[in-house]
Structure 1
Amino acid sequence: MVIFPIIIVVSIVLYIYYKVAILKTKDGLEQAYYNARSRICLGTFILAFAINQYVFYQTRISLFIGIVFLVLGGMQFWRGWKEVGHYRKEWKRINEF
């Protein structure tokens, strides 16, 4: 399956992009927003990596490690998703005209 390696590469590139974007901005709210976006990319990377490893190896140990990675990746993704929503609402609240 070629889709999981593509997702892995795209998510790690976006993770690095958002981490560099944090360094380029001075506003604390934008930094927190970019950090939340990078957390989503990290969660996607871990989720896709876990699925890819199980599909590739299909052993019991890869299943257990994949389950742990699925849980950790899901937690990263969910926390990033919630933070992005929060910081987007804060930005709209602060920049009302």
Structure 2
Amino acid sequence: MIIFPILIVLSAVLYIYYKVAILKTKDGLTQAYFNAKSRICLGSFLLLFGINQYVFYGTKISLFIGIVFIIIGGMQAVRGFKETKHYRREWRRLNPAD
């Protein structure tokens, strides 16, 4: 199961990328958009880590920890998707020519 560690590292790298991108921009709407994208990456990191935790160890305690991580990661990802959709719509409303 090499796919889970690769996806976990990829989502962590993307999370850091979007957090650094927030520091580089001055526009508040763009910062909020990048923050929403980073929330998706954080949610996917937690979700994948929870799945990997159970698959790798397979005990009851790892199942409990995995379920907690999956719930928290899912909530973060869903909120990030909703915020990303909202801020993308706002950007299109404010910049109709682009």
* Whole-angstrom CA distance in 2 between matches of 1:38 and 1:87: 13
State the Cα deviation string for residues 47-83 of structure 1 (Å, max 9, x = none).
0000001000000000011001000000000000000
Alignment length (residue pairs): 97
What residue number does 2:16 align with?
16
Amino acid at match of 1:50: G
The percentage of counterpart residues that share the same residue type is 73
Quote the offset at 1:96 in angstroms: 1.1
* Whole-angstrom CA distance in 2 between matches of 1:58 and 1:30: 42
When normalised by structure 2's length, the TM-score is 0.98
What residue number does 2:69 align with?
69
What residue number does 2:89 align with?
89
| Partner secondary structure for residue 81 of structure 2 | helix
* Whole-angstrom CA distance in 1 between matches of 2:54 and 2:25: 39
What residue number does 1:7 align with?
7
Quote the offset at 1:3 in angstroms: 0.5
Quote the offset at 1:34 in angstroms: 0.1
What does residue range 21-40 of structure 1 map to in structure 2 within 5 Å? 21-40=21-40
* Whole-angstrom CA distance in 2 between matches of 1:2 and 1:53: 13
State the Cα deviation string for residues 4-31 of structure 1 (Å, max 9, x = none).
0000000000000000000000000000
Structure 1: gaps spanning 5 or more residues: none
- RMSD over aligned CA atoms reads 0.4
When normalised by structure 1's length, the TM-score is 0.99
